[in-house]
Amino acid sequence: MDSTAVRLDYQPDLPADTHSVVQRYEAMVYGIALTHTQCRGDADDVFQDVFLAYHRTMPAVASEEHRKAWLIVTTLNCAKKVALGSWRTRVVPLTPGQEDAAAPEVFHFATEEQDAVFRAMSRLPEAYRTVLHLFYFEDLPVGRIAELLNLDPGAVRVRLSRGRQQMKDQLLGALFDE
Amino acid sequence: MSDQEFFQAMRDQMHPAPEVRQALDQAIAQASGTAGTAADGAPAVPGMPVADGTSSQPGQPVPAAPMPAVTAKPRRTARLFGLAAGIAAVALAAGGVGYGIGHQGQGETTAGPAAGQTGRAGGTGSAGQPGGTGSDTTTGGDEEGAATGSGVATAGDYQAVYDALEKAGGGSLNGQYGGADRGDSVAVTEAASADTAGVKALPATGPGGDYSETNVQVEGIDEGDIVKTDGRAIYIASNKQVVIVNPDGANTTKLGGLDTAVDSPGSAEDLVAGRIVLPGQVFDLMLVDHYLVALVNEYTAEASGLSEWGGGASMYFDSARTKALVYDVTDPADATYVTEYAQSGSYLASRLQGNILYLVSYYPIGSGYRPVVAEDTRTYVPYVWNGTEATAVAADAIMIPADGADAAAYSVATAIDIAGGTVLGEASVMGGQGTVYMSQDNLYLAITQWDYNWDTTAETRASSVGDGMVLMQGQATTKLARIALNGGALQVAAEGEITGTLLNQFALDEYDGYLRLATTESVAEQGEPTDWSSDNAITRVSLLVLDGNFQVVGSIPQLIQNESIQAVRFTGAVGYVVTFLRTDPLFTLDLSDPTAPSIMSELEIPGFSAYLHPWADGELLGVGQAGELSSDGLKLSMFNTSDPFNVTELATIPFDMYHSLAMDDHKAVWADVDRGLIGLSAYQYSEDWSELTYHYLVFSYADGEFAQVADLAVPYDSAAQWNMDSIRGVQIGDALYVCTDHSVDAYTLDGFAKLGGISL
């Protein structure tokens, strides 16, 4: 699946209003938020903060790819900040005995296998996780990932390969074979 | 199904709950100026009192995040779970049962400007900064990329404060819910009447000082922690309780507990106006003289905001107060509540110097239900409480950054003389939430800001190192503020800004009047494109030396590029920085001349250290990862730093664990140099990743060699909601106590035989 940078479709005329942008990129932003925070609530926060930021900033973009890049990087930054807050500073059970209701809500997928993959990804160091997410869930080529994360493509390949290895170790499956 | 399809199938499910999306749509509509639509007018919760004059929107689910009207600043929110219980609690309280402690109205406190002047000299100055050379510094022509820095501007009056907040808030301070006419603006709630019994006389001291203390950054400055000991008892924060344990080897017992929710129960008196005040958990403890101080949050929430969402029930708090509850532990078996202090905002950090407690909280404005109005300072000015007595932070103690605050919020710092029972001083810095670092003379705030305005036609920002490189678009800068301690009479003395980000509190260090920072920034050469797609961008680690006004006097522009900082430790004239991509360069820096810092040596070994601890003369301990992958396990390293130009790894010991809390939290490390012992907690997964086990490991270091001397099991139950970050090793006399928020196990210090243990 490795590839050099491939130019994706250039679509300068897609609507730039926030509602359309949310529609178009909801899953992308939320997905990144999910794999870079620890619970559903944090992901929700990131999701909302990113699109509100978009709405307030209306970044000047030259192309749809630029807009997409803006959203990806903003989401990564936002998730970093939100995830830094320990969950226990966020939860106030209304009465004692509600502590178990106060646990952060984990996102669940439809199948156990998907859950396992998600959990395995969550255990990766963030550097590898980001690259794996963008590669497998967003289908971005190595070159594009390198641009987004300010790395050289070699570094991206290294992280991809190590991340894959760790995932394989965890899952013992064929899913991450090269 | 192909791999591609597998991932696509997962991706297709990555959507937020519909109400989260709805709430976002609503927020966008409101931000665009169109009114939100109200559903039917029925109260959200049957039987709940409805606030006067409310135009709440029942039927609308509470969105997942209050919408601050600031530019793209993610902020923390808190969720209060337990709807059914919450309604019950509220209903009970309304019926007079439950909280019901006398609650004074706010009426006594003046709301006008200049309330609570403490008589300190206002204005600017570099108090406490003996070596600072201010803007006189000229060390050659390559300093033009200096950090901005100067004396500070404090607000002239509260109107100026309001205006600055509004500007920081993007023109409006009333976000999602505010702005609706809610009738009388409800008073900032007072603390419950406290039993202000006189301070007890100093007791005879306990059995001597042979016990371990919290592992802190700066010698002589204590930091609040979950577990504390005074040698006579171990105090452990566990949710809203403080458990007090008698550490007596095999006869270790639980002496008792303090329920902070009882001593500071909040109040439902505001129910009429639709507010609930709820006690929060204990974040940290501090021992001051013969007092134990419990640092907790207290939340105020809109009752009409109760709603059901996502299975649990969550309610976002309107505002929080940080409280310092003071208990007399002269006799740990009979600890008594004495008094309390409070300040606006959520708990951020605590420090102790001598007997003065320094407390920092973070107070955002305009993200809740309560409307913010310029005429009522109680809605936007930080307050400080001594018991029930509230005082507004004076306008001239509020620093507004020269180029405007990055967020409509404050960091609030207070200095409290616990034994004397007085608040010695308070100061506030307007802006976002930052990292706190305290030296012997100053309290520093470092606030990272991300720039979401990726307008590549905008002016570029020169890198603070002044070597001609410019910051990439959208990359972070860090605002700095320095509050002079002045023995408790806090005074904001300087502000500045540098390009890049700081790892944590260890990335700052004040020495001999200068502030050293290790930063990471993404830069490109002047003239090259600075947008995200630039091929010329590099991420680099730099070292900055700043004077008392945050002017750059010296720097090492680029220790290394395209790696990230893992650990920093400054020790006087020498600094150590660990970066990592493949191998662990441990940089040893010569900081003896602030204007000309330099690299003395670079040691490359596999893995990296995430925490550095000066051990003995010429020895530096590192805790970290053994190899490139976390699956390579962890290790301890002892570095020989006696010749800083030739630092070597003197000894190392790997241990087979996945991760150690010591890598994230310096307070989790027990380092006893005299005994040659190192303790830390760690966890490991089973082969098939299905099981997690927690351990407390003890290592010895003697004669240039490590040995693992104990692997103690720490109780863990994945179903229970235990805080596994609370694991601490506490040495008292000849025993080691492994403490968590749910257990204490005693071991002999010699041989680590288990003596006994208790559940809390």
Task: Give contacts of B 176-215 with A, CB under 8 A.
Answer: none
- The closest CB to that of A81, out of B74, B79, B539, belongs to B74
Out of B21-25, B280-284, B684-688, which region has the weakest mean confidence (pLDDT)?
Answer: B684-688
Q: Which of A26, A117, A152 lies nearest to residue B10, judging by beta carbons?
A: A117
By the CB < 8 Å criterion, does B630 face chain A? yes
| Tokens matching residue B65 | 């995040």
To the nearest whole angstrom, how far is the Cα of A151 from the nearest Cα of chain B? 7
**B54 pLDDT above the threshold of 50:** no
SS3 per residue for B301-355: EEHHHCEECCCCEECEEEEEEEEEEEEECCCHHHCEEEEEEEEECEEEEEEEECC
Provide the pLDDT for residue B144: 32
- Interface residue of A44, A55, A105, A139 to substitute, partner B, most B CBs within 10 Å: A44
Strand order across the B728-732 sheet: B728-732, B735-739, B743-748, B754-759
Across the range B23-37, mean pLDDT stands at 68
CA torsion through residues B81, B84, B85, B90, sign:
positive
Q: Kind and range of the H or E element at B444? A: strand B442-449
What band does B73 get if pLDDT is binned at 50, 70 and 90?
very low
Tell if the CB–CB gap between B16 and A45 is shorter than 8 Å.
no
**What CA–CA distance (Å, rounded) separates B548 from B125?**
9
- Residues A107 and A113: their CA atoms lie apart, in Å, by 14
Higher pLDDT, A86 or B580: B580
Residues 155-174 of B with CB under 8 A from A: 170
CA atoms within 13 A on the CB side of B395: 17
Closest CA relative to residue B361, chosen from B43, B67, B76: B76
Average of per-residue pLDDT across B95-120: 28
Q: Which of B255, B216, B213, B212 is nearest to B233 (CA)?
A: B255
Best mutation site among B10, B45, B275, B536 for testing chain A: the one with the most A CBs within 10 Å? B10
Asked whether residue B101 carries a pLDDT value surpassing 70, the answer given is no
Proportion of chain B above pLDDT 90, given as a percent: 47
For residue B630, the distance in angstroms to the closest alpha carbon of chain A comes to 8
Give pLDDT tens digits for B82-94: 222 333 333 333 3
Is the model's pLDDT at B179 over the cut of 60? no
Q: Do A45 and B63 touch (CB under 8 A)?
A: no
| CA dist., res. A147 & res. B522, Å (int) | 12
Contact between chains at B10 and A69 (C-beta distance less than 8 A): no
Give CA angle at B412 (B386, B498), nearest 5°.
160
**Residue in B17, B280, B631 nearest the CB of A166:** B631
Q: Tell me which residues of chain B, numbers 448 to 507, contact chain A at a CB-CB cutoff of 8 Å.
A: 450, 452-457, 472, 474, 476
Distance from CA of B113 to the nearest CA of A (A): 32
Q: What is the mean pLDDT of residues B694-701?
A: 97
pLDDT category at B372 given cuts 50, 70, 90 is confident
Both tokens assigned to B196: 């202000």
Structure tokens at B459: 């002016």
pLDDT at A97: 42
pTM of the entire predicted model: 0.70
Residues of A in contact with B25 (CB under 8 A): 19, 22
Helix (H, G, I), strand (E, B) or coil at B757: strand
Residues of B in contact with A125 (CB under 8 A): 630
Euclidean distance between CA atoms B474 and B449, whole angstroms: 10
Partner residue opposite B72 with nearest CB, options A57, A102, A165 = A57
Model confidence at B636, pLDDT cuts 50, 70, 90, reads very high
Q: Encoding tokens for residue B260?
A: 């902070």
CB contact under 8 A, A170 and B689: yes
Question: Measured between beta carbons, which residues in chain B are less than 8 angstroms from residue A103?
Answer: 721
pLDDT for B467? 87
- Smallest Cα–Cα separation from B430: which of B462, B398, B460? B398
Complex confidence, ipTM: 0.84
Q: Is the pLDDT of residue B428 over 80?
A: yes
Query: Which of A60, A73, A124 minimises the CB distance to B455?
Result: A60
Interface size A-B, in CB pairs within 8 Å, comes to: 223
Q: How far is CA B162 from CA B68, B344, B376, in A?
A: 16, 16, 10
Nearest chain B residue to A175 by CA distance is B3
Q: Does B97 touch chain A (CB under 8 A)?
A: no
Residue type, A177: D
> Nearest-CA neighbor of B133 among B708, B720, B625, B547?
B547
CA atoms of B368 and B173, how far apart (whole Å): 10
Burial of A12 (0-12, 13-18, 19+ CB in 10 A): exposed
* Residue in A55, A95, A169 closest to B85 by CB: A95
Give the distance from residue B562's alpha carbon to the nearest chain A alpha carbon, in angstroms. 7
pLDDT at B722: 79
Please report residues of B whose CB lies closer than 8 A to that of A57: 71-72, 452-453
Query: A30 contacts in B (CB within 8 Å)?
Result: 14-16
The dihedral of CA B89, A86, B68, B240: what is its sign? positive
pLDDT(B455) > 90: no
Confidence label for B472 from pLDDT (cuts 50, 70 and 90): confident
CB-nearest to B16 from A30, A74, A166 is A30
Residue B409 has pLDDT above 70, yes or no: yes
Q: Which two tokens stand for residue B372?
A: 């913010």
Cβ-based neighbours of B94, under 8 Å, separated by 6 or more? B49, B268, B271
Q: Nearest C-alpha of chain A: how many angstroms from B381?
A: 23
Task: Give the pair of three-digit tokens for residue B269.
Answer: 């008196």
Average pLDDT of span B309-328 = 68
Chain centroid offset of residue B104 CA: 31
pLDDT, one tens digit per residue, over B703-727 is 999 999 999 999 988 777 678 888 9
Inter-chain contact B538–A150, Cβ cutoff 8 Å? yes
Residue B373 pLDDT more than 70? yes
Q: Which domains does chain A have, with CATH numbers?
A: 12-89+98-107 (1.10.1740), 110-178 (1.10.10.10)
Summarize the confidence of residues B630-643 as an average pLDDT.
90
Q: Is B118 helix (H, G, I), strand (E, B) or coil?
A: coil
Q: Do A53 and B82 touch (CB under 8 A)?
A: no
Q: In what order do the strands lie in the sheet with B291-302?
A: B275-288, B291-302, B317-328, B336-344, B383-386, B389-392
- Listed in order, strand segments (DSSP E) in chain A are none
Residue B351's closest CA among B457, B471, B488, B233?
Answer: B488
Q: Give me the residue label for tokens 């700095």.
A: B480
Please compute the mean of the pLDDT values over residues B226-239 and round it to a whole number.
94
Distance CA B583, CA B627 (A): 8
Contacts of B442 (CB under 8 A, 6+ apart): B128, B129, B482, B483, B484, B485, B493, B510
Q: Out of B6, B64, B476, whose CB is closest to A48? A: B64
Contacts of A17 in chain B (CB under 8 A): none
Which residues in chain B are closer than 8 Å to A83, comparing Cβ atoms? none
Single-letter amino acid code for the residue at B493? A
Strand partners, B634: B625, B655
- Select from B3, B5, B12, B13 the residue whose CB has the most chain A CBs within 10 Å, as the one to mutate to test that interface: B13
Torsion of CA A147, A151, A153, A158, to 10 degrees: -140
Q: Is B628 on the interface with A (CB under 8 A)?
A: yes
- Asked if the Cβ–Cβ distance from A99 to B630 is below 8 Å, we say no
Chain B residues with beta carbon closer than 8 angstroms to that of A48: 20, 23-24, 27, 63-65, 67
Q: CB-based burial of residue B526 (10 Å sphere; 0-12 exposed, 13-18 middle, 19+ buried)?
A: middle
User: pLDDT-based confidence at B317, cuts 50/70/90?
Assistant: low
**Three-state secondary structure call for residue B704:** coil
Q: What angle do CA B609, A145, B632 make, to 5 degrees?
A: 30
With 0-12 CB in 10 A as exposed, 13-18 as middle and 19+ as buried, what is B18?
A: exposed
Could you tell me the two tokens for A31? 């997905």
Tokens of B706: 């490590």
What is the structure's pLDDT at B118?
28
- Alpha carbon separation from A44 to A41, A119, B67, B257, B748 (Å, rounded): 5, 18, 12, 37, 48
In the predicted model, what is the mean pLDDT of residues B539-564? Answer: 89
Q: Which of residues 577-606 of B touch A (CB under 8 A)?
A: 581-582
**Residue in A closest to B284 by C-alpha:** A89
For the ranges A13-22, B313-322, B483-492, B588-597, which has the lowest average pLDDT? B313-322
Is the CB of A114 less than 8 angstroms away from the CB of B721? no
The number of beta carbons lying within 10 Å of the beta carbon of residue B468 is 15
Of A57, A98, A125, the CB nearest to B81: A98
Residue A66 pLDDT: 83
Q: Which residues of A touch B20 (CB under 8 A)?
A: 44, 47-48
Chain A residue with Cα closest to B454:
A59
What mean pLDDT is reported for chain B?
A: 76
Task: Identify the helix (H) or strand (E) that includes residue B659.
Answer: strand B659-660
Distance between CA atoms of A14 and A20, rounded to whole angstroms?
9
| Placement of tokens 């307070």 in the chain | B667
Q: How far is B712 from chain A (nearest CA, A)?
A: 24
Contacts of B313 in chain A (CB under 8 A): 101
Band (B176; pLDDT cuts 50, 70, 90): very low
Please give the pLDDT value at position B635: 95
Would you call B487 exposed, middle or buried from its count of C-beta atoms within 10 A (0-12, 13-18, 19+)? middle
A92-101, B627-636, B663-672, B687-696: least confident range = A92-101
Measure in Å the smallest separation between the Cα of B398 and chain A Cα atoms. Answer: 25
How far B627 CA lies from chain A's nearest CA (Å)? 12
Three-state DSSP at B694 gives strand
Kindly tell me if the per-residue pLDDT of A87 is higher than 80: no
Taking alpha carbons only, the member of B402, B394, B409, B286 closest to residue B341 is B286
pLDDT band at B452 (very low <50, low <70, confident <90, very high): low
The one-letter amino acid at B280: G
* Residue A99: pLDDT over 50: no
Q: Tokens for B625?
A: 């990862």
Q: Is residue B17 within 8 angstroms of chain A, CB to CB?
A: yes
